[in-house]
Amino acid sequence: MGDIGQFLPMILIFVVAYFFMIRPQMKRQKDEKKFSAELKRGDRVITKSGLHGKVVDLNDKDFSCIIETMAGKLKFDRSAISMEMSTKLNAPEKK
């Protein structure tokens, strides 16, 4: 019992770190991957750098997309599209 008692605080620290740091990060990565896979033409998106636009074309070969902005058409990696800001942009407004 004495040996286990010495390692118990370390085990508890690892369990807490897993549930508060590692697991949420894995869930976020899974959600972002799902979001980028579900992108379709016509979706309004915001890139992580803050560029607003509409998806014009998707390329599955190099996992990129072409976004139409007021300045023209730009090619981006799908990973450059912000999931959080794009879902807020497309969310219905509450009255």
Contacts 24+ apart (CB under 8 A), 76-80: 76/47, 78/36, 78/39, 79/32, 79/36, 80/47, 80/48, 80/49
Residue 14, both tokens: 């690892």
Q: Between 93 and 90, name the one with better pLDDT.
A: 90
Q: Both 23 and 65 in a single domain?
A: no
Contacts of residue 32, defined as CB under 8 A and 6 or more positions apart, other chains included, come to 79, 83
pLDDT tens digits, one per residue of 43-88: 999 999 999 999 999 998 998 999 999 989 999 999 899 888 888 8
* CATH code of 82's domain: 2.30.30.140
pTM across the whole model: 0.69
- The secondary element (H helix, E strand) that includes residue 65 is strand 64-69
Length of the chain: 95
Domain that residue 77 falls in: 40-95
Percent of the chain whose pLDDT exceeds 70: 95
Q: Does the pLDDT at position 27 exceed 90?
A: yes
Query: pLDDT grade, residue 95 (50/70/90)?
Result: low
